Amino acid sequence: MLTDTPTLVLKAGREKSLLRRHPWVFNGAIAQVRGDPQAGATVAVKSAEGAFLAWAAYSPKSRIAARVWSFREDETVDAALIARRFDAALAYRRMLRIDSDAQRLIYAEADGLPGVVVDRYADVLVLQLTSAGAEAWREVIVELLAGRFPGAVLFERSDAEVRHLEGLEPRLGLVRGRLPGAVLIREHGLRFRVDVARGHKTGFYLDQRENRQRVGRHARDRDVLNCFAYTGAFTVHSLDAGARSVLSVDSSAEALELAREHVTLNELDPARCEWRTADVFQELRRLRDQGRRFGLIILDPPKFAPTHQMAEKAARGYKDINLTAMKLLEPGGILATFSCSGGLSADLFQKIVAGAAWDAGAEFRLLARFGQAADHPVSLDYPEGEYLKGLLLYRGG
């Protein structure tokens, strides 16, 4: 069966991760490439002793040289397999009963579809393909989405930087249908407008859905500082929960303008809002020097450490913003601090924040830990899928 199939033969002892069902094969683990597989082609992965390990998509230009489709030798990698994985992923999302018409429908390796991400924003689907294997099955994936969501608009956002590492050109634009003037979504009874063509990620931070509601519950009668506010989702949830005031800081004036629109869209009081287009690191120091104090501070920065190699540099950035924020927090106040850096473990993030608390000379208690929403599932075999971590901290007197 494997005789004429392109095959990756691993170095001795490098099969251990695959035996634990981890879905990646790094190029340094490969001893030999048999046949002439092209980018995205299905290859067999075998141990040095010749034992079958997995069927995977080959990516010769990436450090991750192969991403596993299946660990079963008797399973064929074809359109039917892709369809089964799609249907299983959609069934899982239906089970979650998410209180929103915006959610992640497909989450790559966690759903057995490496490099495939599909987000739903009301009647608009956003497709993102980030691996050579996913790209090879693009037509099948588009047809599956058309069949499962016949009335939906399909927009492609295959413009992530990781495509360059896979040797792929970016692709962005309409695949099917016509975008409405404004893509409006509902989240826990609140409404937001999503720019699927130019917004961060695929347009909105769906992974923070439940966290926004949980943090908002602590905003009542407090002065709130929302850092890296983007389009103001944490701001809107805080105002809706009864915040006395919210100062929103972001480097993008365009994002803050949309945040203002969200306040109006949800019929919240704009007089309780203050907006600052500024570098957050500099603005935190400016607020400290002004003697400002807040009862709730939210730190939701962009990715500082995409890889483990960048963790040390990222640690300095996280330490900086958390230390300065802690000095702005009044006794009895709440700090919600996040990291979406996949290269930074939850344990290391907590140690960084604890170090900041020590330097701030303040006592903090851990109220809760945060993670990504359940429609961004984490497979026990693939811990790298767990990228979002956060801490909810109470400052003592």
264, 299 contact by CB (below 8 A): no
Going by C-beta distance under 8 Å and a sequence separation of 6 or more, which residues neighbour residue 104? 93, 117, 118, 119, 120, 206, 207, 373, 375, 376
User: Which position among 108, 183, 340, 356 bears the catalytic label?
Assistant: 340
Separation CA 319–CA 325 (nearest Å): 10
Shortest CA distance to 305 belongs to which of 295, 296, 315, 293?
A: 315
What element of type H or E holds 107?
strand 102-107
Instruction: Count other C-beta atoms under 10 Å from residue 152's C-beta.
Output: 17
Going by C-beta distance under 8 Å and a sequence separation of 6 or more, which residues neighbour residue 290? none
φ, ψ for residue 11, nearest 5 deg: -70, 155
Instruction: Count other C-beta atoms under 10 Å from residue 75's C-beta.
Output: 14
Query: Angle between the 233-240 and 209-216 helix axes, to the nearest 10 degrees?
Result: 40
Q: Is 36 exposed, middle or buried (0-12, 13-18, 19+ CB in 10 A)?
A: exposed
139, 75 contact by CB (below 8 A): no
Separation CA 135–CA 45 (nearest Å): 20
* Pairing, β 329-339 against β 389-395: antiparallel
Is 340 catalytic? The answer is yes
Which residues participate in catalysis according to the annotation?
Answer: 340
